[in-house]
Amino acid sequence: MATTGHEAAAHVPSAGDYIVHHLGHLNTTGHPQASVVDFSVINLDTLFFSVAMGVIGLLLMWVVARRVTSGVPGRAQAAVEILLEMVAGQARSIIHSEESRKFVAPLALTVFVWVFLMNSMDFLPVDLLPMLWQGATGNEHAYLRVVPTADLNGTLGMSIGVLLLCFWYNIKIKGMGGWVHELFTAPFGNHPALYLPNFLMQMIEFLAKTVSHGMRLFGNMYAGELLFMLIALMGMGFSSMSGVGGSLMWAGHVVAGTFWALFHILIVVLQAFIFMMLTLVYIGQAHEGH
Amino acid sequence: MEIVLGNVALACGLIIGLGAIGACIGISLMGGKYIEASARQPELMNELQTKMFMLAGLIDAAFLIGVGIAMMFAFANPFVVK
């Protein structure tokens, strides 16, 4: 796959080559991952942009928190307060333990801001950062993907983090014995013949929760990113076509790009909100005995 | 190989089309119920709106995952050896 990308860039790239090249990660091997599962490959771009977005989110909150005043709040403080109250309200309605909320409510806020910022990388023009990166490295075939949540490794990493927190709260609230008891006696009931079905059911539940949690965010962002690439391709058609067809392609690219970006604002915020809500719901479930 | 390409193109259309039907029916049922409920009890509107948007995102997700996979089949076709 690497060779097709390189050869294509030498000539005029076809639509497929353009997309394939843009779906390649900047990873430790230097060429796109060949097999579906390969734990020796590390996607450096996902790591870099997710950490960068986390730092930006923290800095933003820190700057606002430092200037916080009990007098008339500025616009930034008011916006952060609205956000904080929204998250705190959701946490209060889902998690009833005051003590857990001290950790879980800030966690939910962090998840929301972080996922929102990572999703927002989609709003940058699809070719802007990759082109800058290609210019900076001097390699015009360099790979770079800028949306960390459009990488399954990023989203599943976060959802597995939530799963581990669920385990932690299960053990903390119910005790090790209580949790193991629940694993084998819920949801069907306490009977030796039902121990195995109960346990299997619980495992399936944990697996389904975690996979769907990560896949949902990934699927939305991946589809969104691909559509931005397809729209960018329309603009590329402009240069290869002449006359009316070319200018129609150019106009179509601007109109479609605008509309999809506007619609994408909704998806970006909604998916960040859903990721936060599901984090709260899953951790809330760990607090409830069956 | 042409047969594979044609079948994959058909499959992409089916993935997106059937997913769209399901998501649209789901969203319309829920949207209708939301309007109905908020006409009966307007004071619950804000509370219901949050829940509706969250559920809309959940319903949308399955469809958009399908779109993402279909797009991947269309542009980085794994069924054809290059």
Alpha helices in A138-194 (DSSP H): 152-185
Rounded Cα distance between A94 and A280, Å, is 7
CB-CB: which of B54, B64, B82 is closest to A223?
Answer: B64
Q: Which domains does chain B carry?
A: 12-75 (1.20.20.10)
Rounded Cα distance between B70 and B58, Å, is 19
DSSP state letter for A27: B
- Does residue B70 surpass a pLDDT of 90? no
Rounded Cα distance between A230 and A120, Å, is 18
If one compares A245 and A114, the residue with the highest pLDDT of the two is A114
A144 to each of A128, A132, A147, how far by Cα in Å? 10, 10, 10
Q: Collapsing DSSP states into helix, strand and coil, what is residue B57?
A: helix
Query: How is residue A88 written in tokens?
Result: 């705190």
B36 vs chain A: nearest CA distance in angstroms? 23
Q: Collapsing DSSP states into helix, strand and coil, what is residue A188?
A: coil
Tell me how long chain B is: 82
Residues of B with active-site annotation: 60
CB-CB: which of B53, B60, B75 is closest to A16?
Answer: B75
pLDDT digits (tens, 9 = 90+) for A18-64: 887 888 888 888 777 777 778 888 889 999 999 999 999 999 999 99
pLDDT at res. A242: 65
Judge whether A116 and A258 are in contact, CB under 8 Å.
no
Judge whether B60 and A263 are in contact, CB under 8 Å.
no
Provide, rounded to the nearest whole percent, the portion of chain A with pLDDT above 70: 92
What residue of A is the nearest CA neighbor of B54? A274
Rounded Cα distance between A178 and A190, Å, is 13
Rounded Cα distance between B54 and A264, Å, is 16
ipTM score of complex: 0.70
pLDDT digits (tens, 9 = 90+) for A217-261: 988 898 888 888 888 887 776 666 666 777 788 888 889 889 999
Rounded Cα distance between A186 and A121, Å, is 42
Rounded Cα distance between A7 and A69, Å, is 59
Model-level pTM greater than 0.95? no
Domain that holds residue A35: 2-287
What residue of A is the nearest CA neighbor of B81? A1
Total domains in chain A come to 1
- Does residue A4 surpass a pLDDT of 50? no
CB-CB: which of B64, B69, B82 is closest to A4?
Answer: B82
DSSP state letter for A149: G
pLDDT digits (tens, 9 = 90+) for A172-217: 998 999 999 988 988 888 888 889 999 999 999 999 899 889 988 9
Task: Compute the average pLDDT of residues B25-38.
Answer: 94
CB contact (8 A) between residue B76 and residue A20: yes
Query: How is residue B71 written in tokens?
Result: 């797009």
B48 vs chain A: nearest CA distance in angstroms? 13
